[in-house]
Structure 1
Amino acid sequence: MSFRFWRRVQLFPGVSLNLSKSGASLSLGPRGAKYTIGSRGTRATVGLPGTGLFYSVQNPGQTHRTASHAPVPPAPLPVAVKDRLSLGFFQRLVTPADEQAFVAGLRALHSGDETEALAQLESASEQADAAWTAGLLRLKRHELEAAHVLLNSALQRQATLGQLYAKYEVNATTSFSVTPEVTAHIGPRERGTRLALAELHQLRDEHALAAEHLRLILVETSEDVVVKAALAELLLDVEPIPRANADQVVQLSAGLENETPVHAALLLYKARALRALGLDEVAVSTLTQAYRRKKDRPEALLRQIRYERALAYADVGRRGDSRRELSAIYAEDPGFEDVAERLGVR
């Protein structure tokens, strides 16, 4: 889990300059679909409408050589976030103490002093944004009890989540893996808080509580594919997979098209559920659909889809197809899963 703070300055419609601790980058494209050029290369960022969530694919469809010919971004500018969080003498006189502590906490976090940041933010935990930020820091440290208290506090004050960040014109995101294939980037909102709590409960092996948070998000945004993927992964994280769980995953992914890497991950989970229900031929078709689009898809995800298809091929008696799939995976990554053992090369 990593925090990122930045200010975004719109140059003209569809183009914005992002100022952060790591320097400057340029974002091109409409809201919800950005292409960013910065010191760490290029990346495509795609938002999921209405969710406050997005995922990123680094250097999509480019080799290192072609990426080096991308337009050069502006030279790094002074760090705007720290300037934004400077409280002058007279402003401090009229700013409540807990708000001052929130600002001090963000300044410390921006400077890399996580211990000081936690001390300041937790002293201001009556503020939803302070509790949210401190809770995620505790979750990052796997200090689960403290994280639970803070994130629940933020959730109880969800009506004010994001207000202090907005007041100081600072955007904040944190990212963590909601499934092995999907990394979500969340901000101080209800959905992001519930996703973090679901992660926390999963770490505690409290799967029912984790699933409850994910289902509550889906009540509000029924087509949130990131949350669907997280819930599907949770439902399948048990051996043997109960038929009721497998059936729920199939229902979650009904009518799904292979639009983005997140959709592809959910199709992978759908195929696992179909195999658990004994519907192996349909599982093969689903995995073929998931593998059909490769552009901008992470290699690890594509490899996992091929591995699952190899298992499904074996289940329906297509041994030659299964071995060809496993052999191709072995050639790319000899240590992947149990491919070597299945091929008999170890």
Structure 2
Amino acid sequence: MGWRFRKSIRIAKGVRLNLSKRGVGLSVGGKGFRVGIGPRGAYTSTSIPGTGLYSINYFGKNKSRDFPKAEQNFSSQPKIEGYNLNMPPELATSSIYTALGCLWFLISVIFLFIWWPIGILGIIIQIAWAAKSANSPTGKAKNHFLQGKIALQKGEWQKALEEFLKVLEVNPKINSLYREIAFLYRRLDNPEEAAKYFEKYLTSYPDDAVIKLNYASILGITKQYHKAIEILQSLPPEMKQELVVINTLASAFLGLNKPELALEVLEKGPVRSRKTMDEQMKLFRYLLGITYKELGENNKAIKQFYKIYVEDTEYEDVKALLKELDPSFGG
């Protein structure tokens, strides 16, 4: 069993200095209720004197996130709905200052009942500090970020983009925000700008495989096929086996008019028909059909297009392709 250490030193009436293996803390209050700050942050402690029963609640713990993390399921097309909108680490106030601010306010409230002039002075200082922080560059950047987050919740994509760009105007070094800006540009059908911001993001976070896949997809849309292939080939080996990666890579080779290389990639795809054909499977069969058509293997192409047509008669230009390749097709 490991040894533990804890010692409480009274330094003034109702004020204790708490020492433990984790660090140093300070608490204020009396029997039944105390507020304090320690290695784990600001907290309140409530107890029933004489019973040994007590409860400790830390500020800011177990708060749910407003948005889910970006989806990392590579068996489906990369999605842009999974915005990661926790406060960027470059803007997040140090936890110790946040905890100290909470403790300062709580102590000021307590002093309103003990010696009200000190309590009022403490609250005035807190308000002045908060106002100064709000008008600082960091405070302004935080405000633009929060406005952008609200706009996203409302589905106001252009407004969200404008607010996030204002964050970068105030502080250009908030590299983690490049990701959300890239997703918004893609949402707003501006793939060139999306590609630029994905690239900026990856300069700071080069190991983010999810963003690499999104970046390669955008490069394909902007016909930067060689660069897209380079990015896709740098993905982890296990990820390269996912259907979405196979489809994206095959599309890039077809864009370069190299159907033989596209076929080599597509042959690594599913060897058995799936019971249900999702969007990625439809795309896989469509690309396989196009590849066979480019290689002059029309019968194989027709077979793939028919499999799609049975599931979705309006998929891409499958109907037109079947009319072109199969004289007996009556669709």
Return the TM-score normalized by structure 1.
Answer: 0.49
In structure 2, C-alpha distance between the alignment counterparts of 1:310 and 1:91, rounded to whole Å: 72
Given that residues 275 and 283 in structure 1 are in contact (C-alpha distance below 8 angstroms), is that contact kept between their aligned partners in structure 2? yes
Alignment-derived partner of residue 255 in structure 2: 276
Question: Which residue, 307, 329, 334 being the options, matches 2:308?
Answer: 329
Provide structure 2 residue ranges, at least 5 long, that are not aligned to the other structure.
1-61, 76-101, 110-122, 132-137, 324-329
The structure-2 alpha-carbon separation of the partners of 1:219 and 1:143, relative to structure 1 and needing over 3 Å to count, comes to same
Give me the CA root mean square deviation.
Answer: 4.4
Once the two structures are superposed, residues 176-216 of structure 1 have per-residue CA deviations (whole angstroms, 9 ceiling, x without a partner) of xxxxxxxxxxxxxx43x222211333455544332221111
In structure 2, C-alpha distance between the alignment counterparts of 1:341 and 1:304, rounded to whole Å: 16
Given that residues 128 and 154 in structure 1 are in contact (C-alpha distance below 8 angstroms), is that contact kept between their aligned partners in structure 2? yes
- Structure 1 residue 290: deviation in Å? 3.9
The structure-2 alpha-carbon separation of the partners of 1:252 and 1:96, relative to structure 1 and needing over 3 Å to count, comes to farther
Structure with the bigger RCO (C-alpha within 8 Å, sep 6+) is 1
Alignment-derived partner of residue 287 in structure 1: 266
Alignment-derived partner of residue 55 in structure 1: 72
- Structure 1 residue 312: deviation in Å? 0.8
Once the two structures are superposed, residues 210-246 of structure 1 have per-residue CA deviations (whole angstroms, 9 ceiling, x without a partner) of 22211112222334232222222222225xx4xxx11
Question: Which residue, 224, 227, 232 being the options, matches 2:216?
Answer: 232
Do residues 138 (structure 1) and 151 (structure 2) align?
yes
In structure 1, C-alpha distance between the alignment counterparts of 2:192 and 2:142, rounded to whole Å: 27
Once the two structures are superposed, residues 57-85 of structure 1 have per-residue CA deviations (whole angstroms, 9 ceiling, x without a partner) of 99xxxxxxxxxxxxxxxxxxxxxxxxxxx
In structure 2, C-alpha distance between the alignment counterparts of 1:331 and 1:338, rounded to whole Å: 14
In structure 2, C-alpha distance between the alignment counterparts of 1:211 and 1:97, rounded to whole Å: 43
Provide structure 1 residue ranges, at least 5 long, that are not aligned to the other structure.
1-17, 22-44, 46-51, 59-86, 101-124, 162-189
The structure-2 alpha-carbon separation of the partners of 1:127 and 1:336, relative to structure 1 and needing over 3 Å to count, comes to same
In structure 1, C-alpha distance between the alignment counterparts of 2:179 and 2:260, rounded to whole Å: 33
Which structure would you say has the larger Rg? 2
The structure-2 alpha-carbon separation of the partners of 1:283 and 1:294, relative to structure 1 and needing over 3 Å to count, comes to same
Once the two structures are superposed, residues 272-298 of structure 1 have per-residue CA deviations (whole angstroms, 9 ceiling, x without a partner) of 111121211110121232445999x98
Once the two structures are superposed, residues 132-170 of structure 1 have per-residue CA deviations (whole angstroms, 9 ceiling, x without a partner) of 3431442465645532332134445588x8xxxxxxxxx
Question: Which residue, 179, 190, 201 being the options, matches 1:195?
Answer: 179
In structure 1, C-alpha distance between the alignment counterparts of 2:144 and 2:207, rounded to whole Å: 28
In structure 2, C-alpha distance between the alignment counterparts of 1:316 and 1:222, rounded to whole Å: 37
Secondary structure in structure 1 of the residue aligned to 2:72: strand
Do residues 212 (structure 1) and 229 (structure 2) align?
no
Aligned residues: 215
Within 5 A, what are the aligned runs for 1:16-95? 53-56=70-73, 90=106
The structure-2 alpha-carbon separation of the partners of 1:324 and 1:221, relative to structure 1 and needing over 3 Å to count, comes to same
The structure-2 alpha-carbon separation of the partners of 1:279 and 1:127, relative to structure 1 and needing over 3 Å to count, comes to same
The structure-2 alpha-carbon separation of the partners of 1:286 and 1:99, relative to structure 1 and needing over 3 Å to count, comes to farther
Given that residues 225 and 262 in structure 1 are in contact (C-alpha distance below 8 angstroms), is that contact kept between their aligned partners in structure 2? no
- Structure 1 residue 256: deviation in Å? 4.5
Alignment-derived partner of residue 305 in structure 1: 284
In structure 2, C-alpha distance between the alignment counterparts of 1:272 and 1:315, rounded to whole Å: 13
- Structure 1 residue 338: deviation in Å? 2.1
Question: Which residue, 131, 139, 162 being the options, matches 1:126?
Answer: 139
Within 5 A, what are the aligned runs for 1:102-113? none
| Aligned-residue identity in percent | 20
Given that residues 271 and 284 in structure 1 are in contact (C-alpha distance below 8 angstroms), is that contact kept between their aligned partners in structure 2? yes
Once the two structures are superposed, residues 13-51 of structure 1 have per-residue CA deviations (whole angstroms, 9 ceiling, x without a partner) of xxxxx9969xxxxxxxxxxxxxxxxxxxxxxx9xxxxxx
The structure-2 alpha-carbon separation of the partners of 1:206 and 1:331, relative to structure 1 and needing over 3 Å to count, comes to closer
The structure-2 alpha-carbon separation of the partners of 1:262 and 1:254, relative to structure 1 and needing over 3 Å to count, comes to closer
Given that residues 194 and 213 in structure 1 are in contact (C-alpha distance below 8 angstroms), is that contact kept between their aligned partners in structure 2? yes
The structure-2 alpha-carbon separation of the partners of 1:98 and 1:284, relative to structure 1 and needing over 3 Å to count, comes to farther
Given that residues 74 and 245 in structure 2 are in contact (C-alpha distance below 8 angstroms), is that contact kept between their aligned partners in structure 1? no
Return the TM-score normalized by structure 2.
Answer: 0.51
- Structure 1 residue 127: deviation in Å? 6.1
The residue identity in structure 2 corresponding to 1:315 is: E
